[in-house]
Amino acid sequence: MARSETENHGKHIDERPDGVMNSASPRPVVIVGMHRSGTSMVAKLLQQAGLHLGDESVLMPPAEENSEGFYEHLGFVSLNDEVLNAAGAGWDCPPPPGVDWTGATFDAFRGEARSLAAPLATAGAWGWKDPRTSLTLPFWESAIGPLRTVVVVRNPLEVVTSLHRRNGFSPALGLTLWRTYMERILADTSAEHRMVTHYDAYFLHPEQEIARVLDFSGLDRPVDPATLRATTAPALRHHQRTILDLDASGFPTEAIALYRCLCREAGWWEGTTAPDVPVAESPEGSTPAAPSIARGIGRVDLVRVENEALRRNNSDFTAALAARELRVTELEIALATHEATRAELDGKIAERDSRLIERNALIARRDHAIAEGQQHLAHATAEVSRLQDEIAKLTDRLADSERARTVSVIHERELRSMLTGLQAIQMGRDAEIMGTLGAVLSRHAPGAPASIYHRRLLGEVRRFVDEHIPVDAPTLVATYGDGAMLVLGDRPTGPFPRAASGTVADYTDPSDAEAVAQLEELREGGAAYLVVPSPSLPWLSGLPGLELYLQQRCTPVARERGIGAIFALGRQSDDVPA
Protein backbone atom coordinates (compact mmCIF):
# COMPACT_ATOMS: atom_id res chain seq x y z
CA MET A 1 0.00 0.00 0.00
CA ALA A 2 1.32 3.47 -0.88
CA ARG A 3 1.50 6.24 1.70
CA SER A 4 -0.07 9.59 0.95
CA GLU A 5 2.20 12.03 -0.84
CA THR A 6 1.81 14.57 1.94
CA GLU A 7 3.83 12.19 4.12
CA ASN A 8 6.57 11.78 1.56
CA HIS A 9 7.88 14.86 -0.27
CA GLY A 10 4.46 16.29 -1.15
CA LYS A 11 2.38 16.00 -4.30
CA HIS A 12 3.50 16.73 -7.83
CA ILE A 13 1.29 18.78 -10.16
CA ASP A 14 2.04 18.45 -13.89
CA GLU A 15 1.04 21.67 -15.60
CA ARG A 16 1.66 20.36 -19.13
CA PRO A 17 -1.53 19.38 -20.99
CA ASP A 18 0.18 16.31 -22.44
CA GLY A 19 1.86 15.15 -19.20
CA VAL A 20 1.12 11.80 -17.65
CA MET A 21 1.11 13.13 -14.09
CA ASN A 22 -1.57 15.18 -12.37
CA SER A 23 -2.21 16.60 -8.96
CA ALA A 24 -3.31 13.20 -7.62
CA SER A 25 -0.42 11.26 -9.11
CA PRO A 26 2.47 10.34 -6.77
CA ARG A 27 5.92 11.24 -7.95
CA PRO A 28 7.31 8.13 -9.74
CA VAL A 29 10.16 6.19 -8.12
CA VAL A 30 13.12 5.43 -10.41
CA ILE A 31 15.74 2.90 -9.28
CA VAL A 32 19.19 3.70 -10.70
CA GLY A 33 22.82 2.86 -10.17
CA MET A 34 25.67 1.20 -12.03
CA HIS A 35 25.03 -2.21 -13.60
CA ARG A 36 25.88 -5.14 -11.25
CA SER A 37 25.24 -2.93 -8.19
CA GLY A 38 22.13 -4.67 -6.79
CA THR A 39 19.44 -2.60 -8.48
CA SER A 40 17.46 -5.77 -9.32
CA MET A 41 17.34 -6.79 -5.65
CA VAL A 42 16.09 -3.35 -4.55
CA ALA A 43 13.53 -3.30 -7.38
CA LYS A 44 12.20 -6.72 -6.34
CA LEU A 45 11.93 -5.55 -2.72
CA LEU A 46 9.97 -2.40 -3.70
CA GLN A 47 7.69 -4.38 -6.03
CA GLN A 48 6.82 -6.78 -3.21
CA ALA A 49 6.12 -3.78 -0.99
CA GLY A 50 3.55 -2.42 -3.48
CA LEU A 51 5.49 -0.37 -6.04
CA HIS A 52 3.92 -1.03 -9.46
CA LEU A 53 6.68 -1.78 -12.03
CA GLY A 54 4.38 -3.23 -14.70
CA ASP A 55 2.75 -6.58 -15.42
CA GLU A 56 4.90 -9.71 -15.61
CA SER A 57 4.32 -9.85 -19.37
CA VAL A 58 6.24 -6.59 -19.91
CA LEU A 59 9.12 -7.29 -17.48
CA MET A 60 12.44 -8.68 -18.69
CA PRO A 61 12.60 -12.43 -17.97
CA PRO A 62 15.35 -13.89 -15.74
CA ALA A 63 18.68 -14.90 -17.31
CA GLU A 64 21.65 -17.03 -16.33
CA GLU A 65 23.55 -14.06 -14.86
CA ASN A 66 20.45 -12.90 -12.92
CA SER A 67 18.27 -15.90 -12.11
CA GLU A 68 16.17 -13.88 -9.60
CA GLY A 69 14.96 -11.60 -12.41
CA PHE A 70 15.85 -8.08 -13.62
CA TYR A 71 12.50 -6.37 -12.80
CA GLU A 72 13.08 -4.08 -15.79
CA HIS A 73 10.17 -2.90 -17.92
CA LEU A 74 11.14 -3.85 -21.50
CA GLY A 75 9.54 -0.69 -22.87
CA PHE A 76 11.62 1.59 -20.62
CA VAL A 77 14.82 -0.35 -21.42
CA SER A 78 14.16 -0.12 -25.16
CA LEU A 79 13.37 3.59 -25.01
CA ASN A 80 16.51 4.28 -22.94
CA ASP A 81 18.59 2.50 -25.60
CA GLU A 82 16.96 4.60 -28.34
CA VAL A 83 17.52 7.85 -26.42
CA LEU A 84 21.18 6.98 -25.78
CA ASN A 85 21.63 6.04 -29.42
CA ALA A 86 20.18 9.39 -30.50
CA ALA A 87 22.78 11.03 -28.24
CA GLY A 88 25.53 9.02 -29.98
CA ALA A 89 26.09 6.78 -26.96
CA GLY A 90 25.11 3.50 -25.28
CA TRP A 91 24.96 1.98 -21.82
CA ASP A 92 28.64 1.02 -22.08
CA CYS A 93 29.65 4.24 -23.85
CA PRO A 94 28.08 7.13 -21.88
CA PRO A 95 27.12 10.34 -23.71
CA PRO A 96 29.43 13.31 -23.28
CA PRO A 97 28.52 16.02 -20.74
CA GLY A 98 26.42 18.88 -21.97
CA VAL A 99 23.81 16.97 -23.97
CA ASP A 100 20.67 19.13 -24.34
CA TRP A 101 18.12 16.57 -23.15
CA THR A 102 15.30 19.12 -23.52
CA GLY A 103 16.12 19.81 -27.18
CA ALA A 104 13.96 18.99 -30.20
CA THR A 105 16.09 15.92 -30.92
CA PHE A 106 14.30 14.08 -28.13
CA ASP A 107 10.74 15.41 -28.64
CA ALA A 108 9.48 12.19 -30.28
CA PHE A 109 11.00 10.12 -27.48
CA ARG A 110 9.25 12.25 -24.85
CA GLY A 111 5.90 11.30 -26.37
CA GLU A 112 6.86 7.60 -26.14
CA ALA A 113 7.95 8.10 -22.51
CA ARG A 114 4.55 9.54 -21.56
CA SER A 115 2.78 6.68 -23.33
CA LEU A 116 4.83 4.17 -21.33
CA ALA A 117 4.19 5.93 -18.02
CA ALA A 118 0.45 6.53 -18.47
CA PRO A 119 -0.82 2.99 -17.70
CA LEU A 120 1.59 2.60 -14.76
CA ALA A 121 0.55 5.90 -13.17
CA THR A 122 -3.02 4.69 -12.80
CA ALA A 123 -1.89 2.09 -10.22
CA GLY A 124 -0.94 4.63 -7.54
CA ALA A 125 2.66 4.18 -6.38
CA TRP A 126 4.66 3.30 -9.48
CA GLY A 127 8.09 3.49 -11.01
CA TRP A 128 10.68 1.61 -13.01
CA LYS A 129 14.17 0.21 -12.72
CA ASP A 130 16.86 0.46 -15.39
CA PRO A 131 20.55 1.31 -14.73
CA ARG A 132 20.59 3.15 -18.10
CA THR A 133 18.32 5.80 -16.56
CA SER A 134 21.39 6.90 -14.58
CA LEU A 135 22.59 8.51 -17.83
CA THR A 136 19.20 9.84 -19.02
CA LEU A 137 17.60 11.32 -15.86
CA PRO A 138 17.25 14.85 -17.35
CA PHE A 139 15.40 13.40 -20.35
CA TRP A 140 12.87 11.58 -18.14
CA GLU A 141 12.26 14.65 -15.97
CA SER A 142 11.66 16.68 -19.15
CA ALA A 143 9.11 14.05 -20.26
CA ILE A 144 7.13 13.16 -17.12
CA GLY A 145 8.19 15.69 -14.48
CA PRO A 146 10.12 15.40 -11.18
CA LEU A 147 11.19 11.97 -9.93
CA ARG A 148 12.06 10.28 -6.68
CA THR A 149 15.42 8.62 -7.34
CA VAL A 150 16.60 5.57 -5.39
CA VAL A 151 20.37 5.30 -5.99
CA VAL A 152 21.83 1.85 -5.32
CA VAL A 153 25.57 2.00 -4.60
CA ARG A 154 27.96 -0.91 -4.24
CA ASN A 155 31.68 -1.17 -3.60
CA PRO A 156 33.22 -0.26 -6.99
CA LEU A 157 35.78 -3.07 -6.74
CA GLU A 158 32.91 -5.58 -6.60
CA VAL A 159 31.22 -3.88 -9.57
CA VAL A 160 34.46 -3.95 -11.62
CA THR A 161 35.01 -7.62 -10.78
CA SER A 162 31.43 -8.54 -11.74
CA LEU A 163 31.61 -6.62 -15.04
CA HIS A 164 34.88 -8.32 -15.88
CA ARG A 165 33.37 -11.76 -15.31
CA ARG A 166 30.11 -11.07 -17.15
CA ASN A 167 31.20 -8.75 -20.00
CA GLY A 168 34.97 -9.16 -20.18
CA PHE A 169 35.48 -5.44 -19.39
CA SER A 170 38.95 -4.37 -18.29
CA PRO A 171 39.24 -2.93 -14.75
CA ALA A 172 39.93 0.54 -16.20
CA LEU A 173 36.79 0.45 -18.34
CA GLY A 174 34.63 -0.95 -15.53
CA LEU A 175 35.84 1.67 -13.03
CA THR A 176 35.39 4.52 -15.53
CA LEU A 177 31.82 3.44 -16.24
CA TRP A 178 31.07 3.21 -12.50
CA ARG A 179 32.41 6.73 -11.92
CA THR A 180 30.50 8.14 -14.90
CA TYR A 181 27.20 6.62 -13.76
CA MET A 182 27.61 7.85 -10.19
CA GLU A 183 28.76 11.34 -11.21
CA ARG A 184 25.83 11.78 -13.62
CA ILE A 185 23.33 10.69 -10.95
CA LEU A 186 24.72 13.17 -8.39
CA ALA A 187 24.86 15.95 -11.00
CA ASP A 188 21.31 15.40 -12.30
CA THR A 189 19.47 14.95 -8.97
CA SER A 190 19.10 16.95 -5.77
CA ALA A 191 19.66 15.55 -2.29
CA GLU A 192 16.01 16.32 -1.47
CA HIS A 193 14.65 14.06 -4.20
CA ARG A 194 17.13 11.20 -4.10
CA MET A 195 18.04 8.51 -1.64
CA VAL A 196 21.37 6.68 -1.74
CA THR A 197 21.12 3.12 -0.39
CA HIS A 198 24.10 0.78 0.02
CA TYR A 199 23.90 -2.78 -1.29
CA ASP A 200 25.66 -4.25 1.78
CA ALA A 201 23.18 -2.62 4.19
CA TYR A 202 20.51 -5.16 3.14
CA PHE A 203 22.64 -8.02 4.45
CA LEU A 204 23.91 -6.48 7.69
CA HIS A 205 20.95 -4.33 8.78
CA PRO A 206 18.08 -5.43 6.51
CA GLU A 207 15.13 -4.18 8.64
CA GLN A 208 16.61 -0.71 9.08
CA GLU A 209 17.54 -0.27 5.39
CA ILE A 210 14.23 -1.71 4.13
CA ALA A 211 12.29 0.71 6.34
CA ARG A 212 14.44 3.58 5.09
CA VAL A 213 13.88 2.85 1.38
CA LEU A 214 10.14 2.21 1.90
CA ASP A 215 9.72 5.51 3.72
CA PHE A 216 11.48 7.40 0.92
CA SER A 217 9.41 5.63 -1.76
CA GLY A 218 6.12 6.39 -0.02
CA LEU A 219 5.27 2.73 0.67
CA ASP A 220 3.78 1.27 3.86
CA ARG A 221 5.96 -0.98 5.94
CA PRO A 222 4.70 -4.59 5.98
CA VAL A 223 3.20 -6.12 9.09
CA ASP A 224 5.64 -9.04 8.72
CA PRO A 225 9.08 -7.67 7.70
CA ALA A 226 10.34 -11.23 7.17
CA THR A 227 8.57 -11.35 3.80
CA LEU A 228 10.80 -8.56 2.53
CA ARG A 229 13.95 -9.74 4.31
CA ALA A 230 13.77 -12.91 2.19
CA THR A 231 14.43 -10.72 -0.82
CA THR A 232 17.91 -9.95 0.55
CA ALA A 233 19.03 -13.56 0.84
CA PRO A 234 22.75 -13.94 1.75
CA ALA A 235 23.15 -16.16 -1.35
CA LEU A 236 22.97 -12.98 -3.44
CA ARG A 237 26.14 -11.65 -1.78
CA HIS A 238 28.86 -12.71 -4.24
CA HIS A 239 31.90 -10.45 -3.62
CA GLN A 240 32.46 -8.89 -0.18
CA ARG A 241 34.84 -5.94 -0.36
CA THR A 242 35.43 -2.88 1.81
CA ILE A 243 36.83 0.57 1.23
CA LEU A 244 40.20 -0.69 2.44
CA ASP A 245 40.32 -3.03 -0.57
CA LEU A 246 40.08 -0.01 -2.88
CA ASP A 247 43.31 1.40 -1.44
CA ALA A 248 44.96 -2.02 -1.61
CA SER A 249 43.91 -2.41 -5.26
CA GLY A 250 45.41 0.94 -6.24
CA PHE A 251 42.13 2.67 -7.09
CA PRO A 252 42.48 6.39 -7.95
CA THR A 253 41.94 8.72 -5.00
CA GLU A 254 39.16 10.48 -6.96
CA ALA A 255 37.19 7.23 -7.27
CA ILE A 256 37.66 6.45 -3.57
CA ALA A 257 36.55 9.98 -2.64
CA LEU A 258 33.43 9.60 -4.79
CA TYR A 259 32.64 6.27 -3.12
CA ARG A 260 33.12 7.81 0.34
CA CYS A 261 30.73 10.61 -0.63
CA LEU A 262 28.07 8.10 -1.68
CA CYS A 263 28.58 6.00 1.46
CA ARG A 264 28.21 9.09 3.61
CA GLU A 265 24.91 10.00 1.94
CA ALA A 266 23.74 6.39 2.34
CA GLY A 267 24.63 6.37 6.04
CA TRP A 268 27.04 3.49 5.46
CA TRP A 269 30.46 3.24 7.07
CA GLU A 270 33.11 0.60 6.39
CA GLY A 271 36.17 -0.39 8.36
CA THR A 272 37.82 2.65 9.93
CA THR A 273 35.78 5.08 7.86
CA ALA A 274 34.06 7.55 10.18
CA PRO A 275 31.07 9.76 9.57
CA ASP A 276 33.28 12.83 9.82
CA VAL A 277 35.52 11.88 6.88
CA PRO A 278 35.87 15.13 4.94
CA VAL A 279 34.15 15.14 1.59
CA ALA A 280 34.30 17.98 -0.91
CA GLU A 281 31.09 19.99 -0.71
CA SER A 282 29.46 21.89 -3.57
CA PRO A 283 27.91 25.31 -3.10
CA GLU A 284 24.71 25.45 -1.15
CA GLY A 285 21.75 23.91 -2.95
CA SER A 286 23.81 21.77 -5.33
CA THR A 287 25.01 18.16 -5.25
CA PRO A 288 28.46 17.18 -3.96
CA ALA A 289 31.13 17.88 -6.50
CA ALA A 290 32.24 14.59 -8.02
CA PRO A 291 35.54 14.23 -9.83
CA SER A 292 35.42 14.16 -13.58
CA ILE A 293 35.80 10.92 -15.57
CA ALA A 294 39.24 9.36 -15.14
CA ARG A 295 41.49 9.95 -18.09
CA GLY A 296 44.82 8.33 -18.90
CA ILE A 297 48.13 9.80 -19.98
CA GLY A 298 47.48 12.71 -22.33
CA ARG A 299 43.92 13.01 -20.92
CA VAL A 300 42.63 10.20 -23.16
CA ASP A 301 39.04 9.21 -22.35
CA LEU A 302 39.56 5.57 -21.31
CA VAL A 303 35.94 4.53 -21.60
CA ARG A 304 35.60 5.78 -25.16
CA VAL A 305 39.01 4.44 -26.24
CA GLU A 306 38.36 0.97 -24.85
CA ASN A 307 34.76 0.91 -26.00
CA GLU A 308 35.67 1.93 -29.56
CA ALA A 309 38.42 -0.70 -29.63
CA LEU A 310 35.97 -3.35 -28.47
CA ARG A 311 33.42 -2.25 -31.07
CA ARG A 312 35.98 -2.26 -33.88
CA ASN A 313 37.25 -5.70 -32.91
CA ASN A 314 33.71 -7.02 -32.69
CA SER A 315 32.81 -5.43 -36.04
CA ASP A 316 35.90 -6.91 -37.73
CA PHE A 317 35.21 -10.33 -36.25
CA THR A 318 31.53 -10.19 -37.27
CA ALA A 319 32.40 -9.13 -40.80
CA ALA A 320 35.04 -11.86 -41.15
CA LEU A 321 32.66 -14.48 -39.79
CA ALA A 322 29.89 -13.35 -42.12
CA ALA A 323 32.26 -13.41 -45.09
CA ARG A 324 33.41 -16.91 -44.22
CA GLU A 325 29.85 -18.16 -43.81
CA LEU A 326 28.89 -16.53 -47.11
CA ARG A 327 31.83 -18.20 -48.85
CA VAL A 328 30.91 -21.58 -47.37
CA THR A 329 27.32 -21.10 -48.53
CA GLU A 330 28.50 -20.15 -52.02
CA LEU A 331 30.73 -23.21 -52.24
CA GLU A 332 27.95 -25.49 -51.03
CA ILE A 333 25.55 -24.04 -53.60
CA ALA A 334 28.16 -24.36 -56.36
CA LEU A 335 28.85 -27.97 -55.37
CA ALA A 336 25.16 -28.83 -55.31
CA THR A 337 24.68 -27.16 -58.70
CA HIS A 338 27.65 -29.04 -60.12
CA GLU A 339 26.37 -32.37 -58.84
CA ALA A 340 22.89 -31.69 -60.19
CA THR A 341 24.27 -30.64 -63.57
CA ARG A 342 26.49 -33.69 -63.73
CA ALA A 343 23.58 -35.99 -62.90
CA GLU A 344 21.43 -34.24 -65.49
CA LEU A 345 24.12 -34.57 -68.16
CA ASP A 346 24.69 -38.23 -67.30
CA GLY A 347 20.98 -38.83 -67.80
CA LYS A 348 20.95 -37.05 -71.14
CA ILE A 349 24.02 -38.94 -72.34
CA ALA A 350 22.41 -42.22 -71.36
CA GLU A 351 19.25 -41.20 -73.19
CA ARG A 352 21.27 -40.28 -76.30
CA ASP A 353 23.15 -43.60 -76.22
CA SER A 354 19.83 -45.44 -75.98
CA ARG A 355 18.52 -43.59 -79.01
CA LEU A 356 21.71 -44.34 -80.94
CA ILE A 357 21.28 -48.06 -80.21
CA GLU A 358 17.68 -47.88 -81.43
CA ARG A 359 18.76 -46.08 -84.60
CA ASN A 360 21.51 -48.62 -85.31
CA ALA A 361 19.03 -51.47 -84.86
CA LEU A 362 16.65 -49.78 -87.26
CA ILE A 363 19.40 -49.38 -89.85
CA ALA A 364 20.31 -53.06 -89.45
CA ARG A 365 16.72 -54.07 -90.04
CA ARG A 366 16.59 -51.88 -93.12
CA ASP A 367 19.79 -53.40 -94.52
CA HIS A 368 18.42 -56.87 -93.90
CA ALA A 369 15.19 -56.01 -95.71
CA ILE A 370 17.15 -54.61 -98.65
CA ALA A 371 19.28 -57.73 -98.86
CA GLU A 372 16.21 -59.92 -98.78
CA GLY A 373 14.64 -57.85 -101.57
CA GLN A 374 17.75 -58.12 -103.68
CA GLN A 375 17.87 -61.89 -103.22
CA HIS A 376 14.22 -62.19 -104.17
CA LEU A 377 14.78 -60.07 -107.28
CA ALA A 378 17.74 -62.19 -108.35
CA HIS A 379 15.73 -65.36 -107.89
CA ALA A 380 12.87 -63.92 -109.96
CA THR A 381 15.28 -62.88 -112.74
CA ALA A 382 16.79 -66.35 -112.87
CA GLU A 383 13.35 -67.85 -112.88
CA VAL A 384 12.29 -65.66 -115.81
CA SER A 385 15.47 -66.60 -117.80
CA ARG A 386 14.96 -70.26 -117.11
CA LEU A 387 11.27 -70.24 -117.85
CA GLN A 388 11.18 -68.05 -121.00
CA ASP A 389 9.33 -70.78 -122.79
CA GLU A 390 6.62 -70.62 -120.13
CA ILE A 391 6.20 -66.82 -120.25
CA ALA A 392 2.75 -66.92 -121.69
CA LYS A 393 1.61 -69.50 -119.19
CA LEU A 394 3.19 -67.71 -116.26
CA THR A 395 2.24 -64.09 -117.16
CA ASP A 396 -0.08 -63.83 -114.21
CA ARG A 397 2.58 -65.27 -111.97
CA LEU A 398 5.10 -62.77 -113.33
CA ALA A 399 2.68 -59.92 -112.67
CA ASP A 400 2.40 -61.12 -109.09
CA SER A 401 6.14 -61.13 -108.87
CA GLU A 402 6.27 -57.56 -110.21
CA ARG A 403 3.71 -56.47 -107.70
CA ALA A 404 5.80 -58.02 -104.93
CA ARG A 405 8.82 -56.17 -106.18
CA THR A 406 6.83 -52.92 -106.24
CA VAL A 407 5.73 -53.50 -102.67
CA SER A 408 9.35 -54.09 -101.68
CA VAL A 409 10.40 -50.83 -103.32
CA ILE A 410 7.59 -48.94 -101.56
CA HIS A 411 8.60 -50.54 -98.27
CA GLU A 412 12.18 -49.52 -98.90
CA ARG A 413 11.05 -45.94 -99.63
CA GLU A 414 9.03 -45.88 -96.41
CA LEU A 415 11.98 -47.18 -94.45
CA ARG A 416 14.24 -44.53 -95.93
CA SER A 417 11.66 -41.83 -95.09
CA MET A 418 11.42 -43.18 -91.56
CA LEU A 419 15.21 -43.11 -91.23
CA THR A 420 15.31 -39.52 -92.47
CA GLY A 421 12.70 -38.51 -89.87
CA LEU A 422 14.59 -40.26 -87.10
CA GLN A 423 17.79 -38.57 -88.13
CA ALA A 424 16.03 -35.18 -88.01
CA ILE A 425 14.65 -35.97 -84.54
CA GLN A 426 18.10 -37.03 -83.39
CA MET A 427 19.60 -33.81 -84.73
CA GLY A 428 16.95 -31.84 -82.82
CA ARG A 429 17.77 -33.76 -79.66
CA ASP A 430 21.48 -33.08 -80.16
CA ALA A 431 20.72 -29.37 -80.59
CA GLU A 432 18.71 -29.38 -77.35
CA ILE A 433 21.52 -31.12 -75.50
CA MET A 434 24.03 -28.63 -76.93
CA GLY A 435 21.85 -25.72 -75.75
CA THR A 436 21.57 -27.11 -72.21
CA LEU A 437 25.27 -28.00 -72.04
CA GLY A 438 26.21 -24.56 -73.38
CA ALA A 439 24.17 -22.85 -70.64
CA VAL A 440 26.19 -24.75 -68.02
CA LEU A 441 29.59 -24.25 -69.67
CA SER A 442 29.17 -20.63 -70.79
CA ARG A 443 30.43 -19.28 -67.46
CA HIS A 444 33.38 -21.70 -67.18
CA ALA A 445 34.41 -22.47 -70.80
CA PRO A 446 33.12 -19.68 -73.05
CA GLY A 447 35.18 -20.95 -75.96
CA ALA A 448 33.71 -24.45 -75.90
CA PRO A 449 31.53 -25.40 -78.92
CA ALA A 450 28.54 -25.88 -76.64
CA SER A 451 29.05 -22.36 -75.17
CA ILE A 452 29.24 -20.84 -78.68
CA TYR A 453 26.10 -22.72 -79.68
CA HIS A 454 24.35 -21.51 -76.49
CA ARG A 455 25.18 -17.87 -77.23
CA ARG A 456 23.88 -18.24 -80.79
CA LEU A 457 20.72 -19.94 -79.52
CA LEU A 458 20.24 -17.16 -76.92
CA GLY A 459 20.47 -14.52 -79.66
CA GLU A 460 17.96 -16.40 -81.85
CA VAL A 461 15.52 -16.74 -78.92
CA ARG A 462 15.73 -13.00 -78.18
CA ARG A 463 15.17 -12.18 -81.89
CA PHE A 464 12.26 -14.61 -81.94
CA VAL A 465 10.73 -12.94 -78.85
CA ASP A 466 11.27 -9.41 -80.23
CA GLU A 467 9.33 -10.38 -83.37
CA HIS A 468 6.28 -11.79 -81.59
CA ILE A 469 5.96 -10.29 -78.07
CA PRO A 470 5.34 -6.61 -77.21
CA VAL A 471 8.16 -4.89 -75.30
CA ASP A 472 6.17 -4.33 -72.07
CA ALA A 473 4.34 -7.67 -71.95
CA PRO A 474 4.98 -9.72 -68.73
CA THR A 475 6.58 -12.94 -69.98
CA LEU A 476 7.20 -16.36 -68.41
CA VAL A 477 10.19 -18.40 -69.64
CA ALA A 478 10.68 -22.17 -69.30
CA THR A 479 14.38 -21.59 -68.56
CA TYR A 480 15.35 -25.23 -67.88
CA GLY A 481 17.57 -23.74 -65.18
CA ASP A 482 19.24 -21.28 -67.64
CA GLY A 483 18.96 -17.81 -66.04
CA ALA A 484 20.28 -16.11 -69.21
CA MET A 485 16.97 -16.97 -70.92
CA LEU A 486 15.23 -14.49 -68.57
CA VAL A 487 17.05 -11.51 -70.13
CA LEU A 488 14.62 -10.58 -72.96
CA GLY A 489 15.18 -6.86 -73.42
CA ASP A 490 13.03 -4.60 -71.24
CA ARG A 491 10.27 -7.14 -70.83
CA PRO A 492 9.41 -8.15 -67.26
CA THR A 493 10.20 -11.86 -67.11
CA GLY A 494 9.88 -14.71 -64.63
CA PRO A 495 10.89 -18.39 -64.59
CA PHE A 496 8.38 -21.22 -65.05
CA PRO A 497 7.75 -23.59 -63.42
CA ARG A 498 8.62 -22.66 -59.81
CA ALA A 499 9.09 -24.95 -56.85
CA ALA A 500 7.13 -24.44 -53.62
CA SER A 501 10.16 -22.66 -52.11
CA GLY A 502 10.02 -20.06 -54.87
CA THR A 503 13.13 -21.29 -56.70
CA VAL A 504 13.18 -22.44 -60.33
CA ALA A 505 12.22 -26.11 -60.50
CA ASP A 506 13.71 -28.69 -62.86
CA TYR A 507 11.35 -30.25 -65.32
CA THR A 508 10.95 -33.57 -63.54
CA ASP A 509 9.64 -31.86 -60.42
CA PRO A 510 6.04 -30.64 -61.02
CA SER A 511 3.27 -32.93 -62.17
CA ASP A 512 0.87 -32.07 -64.98
CA ALA A 513 -1.74 -30.80 -62.53
CA GLU A 514 0.80 -28.79 -60.50
CA ALA A 515 2.28 -27.18 -63.61
CA VAL A 516 -1.19 -26.27 -64.97
CA ALA A 517 -2.29 -24.86 -61.59
CA GLN A 518 0.90 -22.82 -61.27
CA LEU A 519 0.57 -21.46 -64.84
CA GLU A 520 -3.08 -20.57 -64.19
CA GLU A 521 -2.07 -18.68 -61.04
CA LEU A 522 0.74 -16.81 -62.84
CA ARG A 523 -1.61 -15.95 -65.71
CA GLU A 524 -4.18 -14.58 -63.26
CA GLY A 525 -1.30 -12.60 -61.70
CA GLY A 526 -0.68 -10.77 -65.00
CA ALA A 527 1.65 -13.02 -67.05
CA ALA A 528 0.80 -12.52 -70.75
CA TYR A 529 3.13 -14.87 -72.66
CA LEU A 530 5.01 -18.14 -72.16
CA VAL A 531 8.29 -18.70 -74.06
CA VAL A 532 9.51 -22.33 -74.34
CA PRO A 533 13.11 -22.33 -75.77
CA SER A 534 14.10 -25.40 -77.78
CA PRO A 535 16.08 -27.02 -74.88
CA SER A 536 12.79 -27.00 -72.87
CA LEU A 537 10.54 -28.53 -75.58
CA PRO A 538 11.28 -32.18 -74.55
CA TRP A 539 10.15 -31.27 -71.02
CA LEU A 540 6.90 -29.82 -72.42
CA SER A 541 6.24 -32.93 -74.49
CA GLY A 542 6.71 -34.99 -71.30
CA LEU A 543 3.75 -33.16 -69.70
CA PRO A 544 0.83 -33.93 -72.06
CA GLY A 545 -1.68 -32.32 -69.71
CA LEU A 546 0.21 -29.01 -69.74
CA GLU A 547 0.70 -29.22 -73.53
CA LEU A 548 -3.06 -29.85 -74.02
CA TYR A 549 -3.83 -26.93 -71.70
CA LEU A 550 -1.63 -24.62 -73.81
CA GLN A 551 -3.34 -25.80 -77.02
CA GLN A 552 -6.90 -25.48 -75.69
CA ARG A 553 -6.79 -22.64 -73.17
CA CYS A 554 -4.03 -20.50 -74.69
CA THR A 555 -3.02 -19.41 -78.20
CA PRO A 556 0.14 -20.65 -79.98
CA VAL A 557 1.78 -17.49 -81.36
CA ALA A 558 4.84 -18.85 -83.16
CA ARG A 559 7.10 -21.88 -83.34
CA GLU A 560 10.50 -22.21 -85.05
CA ARG A 561 12.51 -25.38 -85.24
CA GLY A 562 15.68 -25.21 -83.21
CA ILE A 563 14.58 -21.95 -81.44
CA GLY A 564 11.38 -22.59 -79.50
CA ALA A 565 7.68 -21.80 -79.20
CA ILE A 566 5.62 -18.85 -77.91
CA PHE A 567 2.12 -19.07 -76.38
CA ALA A 568 -0.20 -16.17 -75.57
CA LEU A 569 -1.64 -16.87 -72.11
CA GLY A 570 -4.90 -14.98 -72.76
CA ARG A 571 -8.07 -16.89 -73.69
CA GLN A 572 -8.26 -17.90 -77.35
CA SER A 573 -11.03 -15.36 -77.77
CA ASP A 574 -8.68 -12.57 -76.60
CA ASP A 575 -6.82 -10.46 -79.09
CA VAL A 576 -3.45 -11.96 -80.08
CA PRO A 577 -0.85 -9.86 -81.91
CA ALA A 578 -0.32 -10.84 -85.54
pLDDT classification of 269: cutoffs 50, 70, 90: confident
Residue 431 has pLDDT above 80, yes or no: no
pLDDT classification of 298: cutoffs 50, 70, 90: very low
Which residues partner with 129 through β-bridges?
A: 31
pLDDT classification of 132: cutoffs 50, 70, 90: very high
Residue 297 has pLDDT above 50, yes or no: no
Q: What is the mean predicted confidence (pLDDT) over 321-335?
A: 89
Contacts of 208 (CB under 8 A, 6+ apart): 201
How many angstroms separate the CA atoms of 31 and 133, rounded? Answer: 8
- Mean pLDDT lowest among 15-29, 315-329, 438-452: 15-29
How many angstroms separate the CA atoms of 542 and 560, rounded? Answer: 19
- The amino acid present at 234, given as its one-letter code, is P
pLDDT classification of 432: cutoffs 50, 70, 90: low
The predicted structure's pLDDT at residue 466 = 93
Contacts of 573 (CB under 8 A, 6+ apart): none
The predicted structure's pLDDT at residue 316 = 66
Give residue limits of the domains in the chain: 29-294, 310-441, 457-568
Q: What is the mean predicted confidence (pLDDT) over 223-252?
A: 72
Contacts of 341 (CB under 8 A, 6+ apart): 440
State the burial class of residue 471 (Cβ atoms within 10 Å of its Cβ: 0-12, 13-18, 19+).
Answer: exposed
The predicted structure's pLDDT at residue 229 = 73
More confident residue, 50 or 431: 50
**CA-only gyration radius of the chain, Å:** 44
Q: What is the mean predicted confidence (pLDDT) over 334-357?
A: 92
How many angstroms separate the CA atoms of 512 and 520, rounded? Answer: 12
CATH 3.30.190 fits 29-294, yes or no: no
Residue 111 has pLDDT above 90, yes or no: yes
The predicted structure's pLDDT at residue 380 = 85
How many angstroms separate the CA atoms of 94 and 85, rounded? Answer: 10
Residue 5 has pLDDT above 70, yes or no: no
The predicted structure's pLDDT at residue 509 = 67
Residue 126 has pLDDT above 50, yes or no: yes
Instruction: Give the pLDDT confidence of 159-211 residue by residue, as tens digits.
Output: 999 899 888 899 999 999 999 999 999 999 999 999 999 999 998 889 999 99
DSSP for residue 131:
T
More confident residue, 206 or 396: 206
Q: What's the distance, CA 168 to chain centroid?
A: 28
pTM of the model: 0.48
The predicted structure's pLDDT at residue 505 = 53
**In the predicted model, what is the mean pLDDT of the chain?**
82
Residue 334 has pLDDT above 70, yes or no: yes
**Long-range contacts, 8-12 (Cβ 8 Å, 24+):** 8/148, 8/215, 8/216, 8/217, 8/218, 9/148, 9/192, 9/193, 9/218, 12/145, 12/146
The predicted structure's pLDDT at residue 506 = 54
Residue 291 has pLDDT above 80, yes or no: no
Q: What is the mean predicted confidence (pLDDT) over 42-57?
A: 93
Q: What is the mean predicted confidence (pLDDT) over 268-282?
A: 50
Residue 250 has pLDDT above 60, yes or no: yes
The predicted structure's pLDDT at residue 294 = 38
The predicted structure's pLDDT at residue 197 = 96
How many angstroms separate the CA atoms of 177 and 40, rounded? Answer: 18
The predicted structure's pLDDT at residue 43 = 94
- The amino acid present at 210, given as its one-letter code, is I
The predicted structure's pLDDT at residue 324 = 83
Residue 11 has pLDDT above 60, yes or no: no
